[in-house]
Chain A
Amino acid sequence: METPMMYYIVISLVMFFAGVYGFMTRKNMLMMLISIELMLNAVDINFAVFNRFLFPGQMEGMIFSIFAIAIAAAETAIAIAIIINIYRHIRNIDADNLDDMKY
């Protein structure tokens, strides 16, 4: 018996919105980065699942998710570089401390 598509979609949506929630509430920048990764990976699951169940004859979704993974890796690299730079300046990575500029 094959697992129905709905199961996968529920998982990916829960992941996505857990990511959104984490991004809004977390203070530590690395945790924010991980939340964003959750969101991006949820999208990858979506693409793979839609491809596998709805359009099994082609590979467009799979290819797209590979590209999305590669770009997510690039994003993480730049984010970590910036976070390290911040750590060198203010000795912690709390998003709350980045409030020099407001209104």
Chain B
Amino acid sequence: MDLSQYTLIWEYMQPELLLLIATVLLFFIDLFASPRFLDKWFSATACFLLAVVTILGCIPGEATHTLFGGMFISTPMTTAMKMVLNIGTILILLQAHTWINSEACKVRRGEFYELMFFTLFGMYLMISSGHFLIFFIGLETASLPIAALVAFNKQGGDSYESGAKYLFNAVFSSAIFLMGISFMYAIGGSLYFVDIATVATTHTALFIVALAFIITGIGFKLSLVPFHLWTADVYQGGPTAVTAYLSVISKGAAAFAFLWVLFKTFSPSHEMWQGILYALIILTITLGNLFAIRQKDLKRFLAFSSISQAGYIMLGVMAYSAQGLTALVYYILVYIFSNLAAFGVIAAIENKTGKVNMDDYNGLYQTNPKLSLAMMLAMFSLAGIPPFAGFFSKFFIFASAVNSGFYILVLIALINTIISLYYYLLVVKAMFINPNENPIEPIKTDCYGRTGLVICVAGILLLGIASCVYGYLSGLSLTVGI
């Protein structure tokens, strides 16, 4: 065995290895530190470790590296995506502080952080895979611990029901995905993305079945519409921090990996998967929006909103260009900030009062002006109202699809944006206009939650205006060469 490989592995796999080190460190801190220290500083330690990982390992370089004979590929764009995921996870850890330190969850606090770090590790692998084996392992490492996290509230509520629903759907979809891969193997005799791209150029029946199975398998993780049925139940029953994690980080990583597989592996047959995605996107956006209108539970409401957002994200995949890649990553970044602002408010209110219903939010502005302001900004950004970041991300992703010639699809997406405006504004109306005799009492969030919300709001306000972010991502995606 060639020992010189080891230094290369350390050099090129830095985000993954640093994250693993952070996980092990966290485990030992959880084991040996005094309870008083843990009560006070454990969340801060976790955030700090993740921030260190981000700063040391996830700053995009310039060159593309491959490891393990091409199974692992690290490009500047994948590193940037890892950074985006890290930022989102840090925000979620900040918001989870109150909940995880409550009496019921305190005992299992360490597990929450370690499982979360492990899923993040799986997503890293999935993002920078160059071979279906790594991709599959990453996918499973990313989705199995989440099932445990969703069922985290052992004592009560609907947590166990959500956990079961998530797990069975995840395993079922990965079985279908594996079947697709096995057919792909029968066609080409290799599972490297590059090899499949050169071999699988003819559209045999086997190839079409394999492609459909693979899209189905990843579609489950992304909750695209025919495969979305688990989403609302899992989001409603899971702990709010985990729901937030599922809706932004897990979805973002899956979307990016999906794009990667389709761009790299199935580039010769892009017209075929564009045809499949065309139908999926229209269904996803429209049905997600229509079902969101009738929801009263806010977590369920955000579940359907995130389904329709997944449809918008897929527009970047449809574009099949470097511009689409940039728009997708930018959309995910903005979506992380706006959705986490909404979840931060929901978590703050749920922790104190246990209320998640939209009617409970009536008159929130009179008692909690700051929280309702943050929620309003989040809703405006999700809907895409101009000065906020959501408008720019939507604009870029529509522009990328239009540049590839999908005019009708973008028109349908635009009409759906108007529908979505209606239900996002319902929340704003409840908070600011609807009268209420006894609104939720004033809530004082702890400094962790407040920091998280302030960062989210700052992101919503600044990300769109600071055009350097999009420019930077655009420069990175040009180096990928699609």
Chain A residues at the B interface, C-beta cutoff of 8 Å = 16, 19, 23, 29, 32-33, 36, 39-40, 42-43, 46-47, 50-51, 54-55, 58, 60-61, 63-64, 67-68, 71, 74-75, 78-79, 81-83, 85-86, 89, 95, 98, 100-103
Contact = CB atoms under 8 A, between A and B. Distances in A.
Interface of B: 132-133, 136-137, 140, 144, 147-148, 151, 154, 158, 160-165, 167-168, 171-172, 174-176, 178-179, 181-183, 185-186, 189-191, 232-233, 236-237
B158 A79 contact: no
B134 to A, nearest CB: 10
A40 B178 CA distance: 8
A54 B186 contact: yes
List 8 tightest A-B contacts by C-beta distance, closest first.
A39-B175, A46-B182, A55-B189, A43-B178, A50-B186, A101-B233, A98-B161, A82-B163
A23 B173 CA distance: 12
Contact of B161 (A32, A33, A60, A100): A100
B144 A78 contact: yes
Given A50-B185, A63-B133, A75 B178 contact: no
Contacts of A32: 168
Given A75-B144, A82-B147, A36 B163 contact: no
Contacts of B171: 36, 40, 75, 79
A46 B182 CA distance: 6
Contact of A71 (B136, B154, B163, B233): B136
B147 A78 contact: yes
Contact of B164 (A43, A51, A83, A102): A83
Contacts of B185: 47, 50-51, 60-61, 64
Contacts of B158: 100-101
A98 B165 contact: yes
Which one of B137, B144, B178, B179 has the greatest number of beta carbons of chain A within 10 Å?
Answer: B178
B172 A23 contact: yes
Contacts of B137: 67, 71
B438 to A, nearest CB: 27
B72 to A, nearest CB: 15
Given A39-B172, A43-B178, 16 more contacts: A23-B168, A36-B168, A42-B179, A50-B185, A61-B182, A67-B136, A67-B137, A74-B140, A78-B147, A82-B151, A83-B164, A98-B161, A98-B164, A100-B158, A101-B232, A102-B233
A75 B163 contact: no
Contact of A60 (B144, B151, B160, B190): B190
A101 B179 contact: no
A74 B137 CA distance: 11
A29 B164 contact: yes
Contacts of A64: 132-133, 181, 185, 191
A60 B189 CA distance: 8
Nearest to B191: A60
A12 to B, nearest CB: 9
A84 B331 CA distance: 40
Nearest to A16: B179
Contacts of A36: 168, 171-172, 175
A36 B189 CA distance: 26
Nearest to B165: A98
B129 to A, nearest CB: 13
A103 to B, nearest CB: 8
Contact of B182 (A19, A50, A63): A50
B167 A79 contact: yes
A16 B183 CA distance: 13
B163 to A, nearest CB: 5
Nearest to B154: A85
Contacts of B236: 101
Given A36-B168, A98-B164, A98-B165, A68 B178 contact: yes
Contacts of A82: 147-148, 151, 160, 163-164, 167
B107 to A, nearest CB: 15
A74 B232 CA distance: 25
Given A40-B178, A71-B140, A85 B151 contact: yes
Contacts of B148: 78, 81-82
A101 B233 CA distance: 6
A81 B144 CA distance: 12
Contacts of B183: 46
B294 to A, nearest CB: 8
Nearest to A102: B233
A101 B182 contact: no
A35 B184 CA distance: 23
Contacts of A58: 189
A42 B213 CA distance: 15
Contacts of B151: 82, 85
Given A79-B168, A100-B158, A43 B163 contact: no
Contacts of A81: 148
Contact of B160 (A54, A67, A89): A89
A75 B172 CA distance: 11
